[in-house]
Amino acid sequence: MSIRQYRPRGREHNGASRNQTIVLMSATFLAIGLQIFYPLVHGDVLRVLTIATVYSAAFVAVFHSFLSFGLRFASTFLAVTLIYALTVEAIGVKSGWPFGTYFYDSSLGYQIYGVPLLVPFAWVMLSYPIFVAARRTAQKWVFLYGGLGLMAWDLFLDPQMVNAGRWHWKVVGPHLPFAPNIPLSNSAGWLFAGMGLMSLLNVTLPKGHRKDGTTSLIPNVFLFWSLFAGIVGNAFFFHRPGTACFGGLIFAMVLSPYFFQLRFGRPDAF
């Protein structure tokens, strides 16, 4: 009997190691924990907490994608999203298209072409769980479902950041329901820019099953938490019940087909 061909199976088939799982769960708890403290702090502490929340959540997204789908998937996802987001945001700041006329406050840190470095990482934070949901829910319409998901999520994000003074709008024409300081064009911009990003990700990212031992738990937690926190935060902490109801209704409508798939669809669908 020869053992010369025997090699232990690599991590690519066995999923995450114990230490990797600990890192992923710790980062997830950190990102969500920072968001829990958001309504309770003010001033420079709030600014630092905002920045830490985005970077920690973006790390969770990229690390989970690496553990679940491999290095090629994670690196491509990160590169495509960062480059696309920076390009779209830079065009938006300079031209007012596709979101409307706006500018970023210096409190968000170092800027590239008028766009804080933090902002493309916010796109990473948002786009990964939405993309996971889109590929499972609407395999032939990933671009549309993903664009709707990003638009719906922003119904919570933009009012929060505008009221904190992180960016500012020049409102011309109709405004977002229950948010008179945000133009309706912003939602249209998120829809079309989101569809563009989801199309690129769907074309460039490999398709296939997750690695053994990995699940969609982490992106699912972020989606559910974002819906829950958006409703509760706006209703009880930020004094924006209209945003809580309107944003919650739209986001819940977008996410409901995905959660239906999780409950009744194939467990390995992606």
Q: What is the mean pLDDT of residues 34-48?
A: 95
Which pLDDT band, with edges at 50, 70 and 90, does 6 fall under? very low
Query: Number of folded domains in the chain?
Result: 1
Residue 236: predicted pLDDT: 96
pLDDT in tens, 101-159: 999 999 999 999 999 999 999 999 999 999 999 999 998 999 999 999 999 999 999 99
pLDDT at 3 over 50: no
4 has a pLDDT exceeding 80:
no
pLDDT of 13 strictly over 50? no
pLDDT digits (tens, 9 = 90+) for 57-100: 999 999 999 999 999 999 999 999 999 999 999 999 999 999 99
Token readout for 85 is: 């987001």
Considering the chain, what is the average pLDDT of its residues? Answer: 92
- Retrieve residue 129's tokens: 């769980």
**pLDDT score, position 214:** 86
Beta strands 175-176 and 179-183 are antiparallel
pTM of the model as a whole: 0.92
* Rounded Cα–Cα distance for residues 269 and 157 (Å): 29
Q: How many whole angstroms separate alpha carbon 114 and alpha carbon 266?
A: 44
Q: Please report which confidence band the pLDDT of residue 270 belongs to, taking 50, 70 and 90 as the band edges.
A: low
Q: What is the pLDDT of residues 161-199, one digit of tens each?
A: 999 999 999 998 999 999 999 999 999 999 999 999 999
Q: Flag whether 190 is in a domain.
A: yes
The pLDDT, as a whole number, for residue 209 is 77
- Is the pLDDT higher at 207 or at 51? 51
Residue 176 belongs to some domain of the structure: yes
What is the reported pLDDT for 10? 41
Interacting residues of 145 by C-beta distance below 8 A, sequence separation 6+: 133, 134, 137, 138, 198, 254, 257
**Paired tokens of 7:** 């090699």
Q: Yes or no: say if 90 and 114 are a contact pair by the CB < 8 Å rule.
A: yes
CA 58 – CA 40 distance, rounded (Å): 23
Inside any domain, residue 9: no
Instruction: Evaluate whether 107 touches 165 at the Cβ level (below 8 Å).
Output: yes
Closest by alpha carbon to 77, among 87, 63, 92, 91? Answer: 63
Look at residues 121, 104, 109, 106 and name the one whose alpha carbon lies nearest to residue 53: 121
Residues 6+ apart with CB under 8 A from 253: 152
pLDDT of 30 above 70: yes
Helices (H) and strands (E) in the chain, counts: 9, 6
Collapsing DSSP to helix, strand or coil, 6 comes out as coil
* Mean pLDDT, rounded, for 208-226: 90
Identify the domain containing residue 193 by its residue range: 16-264
Which of 117, 170, 157, 168 has the alpha carbon at shortest distance from 240? Answer: 157
Q: How far is CA 2 from CA 5, 6, 9, in A?
A: 8, 9, 18
Name residue, tokens 């992923």. Answer: 24
pLDDT band at 2 (very low <50, low <70, confident <90, very high): very low
Q: Cβ of 114: how many Cβ atoms within 10 Å?
A: 13
Q: Which tokens belong to 69?
A: 């789908």
11 within a domain of the structure (yes/no): no
Residue 5 pLDDT > 80: no
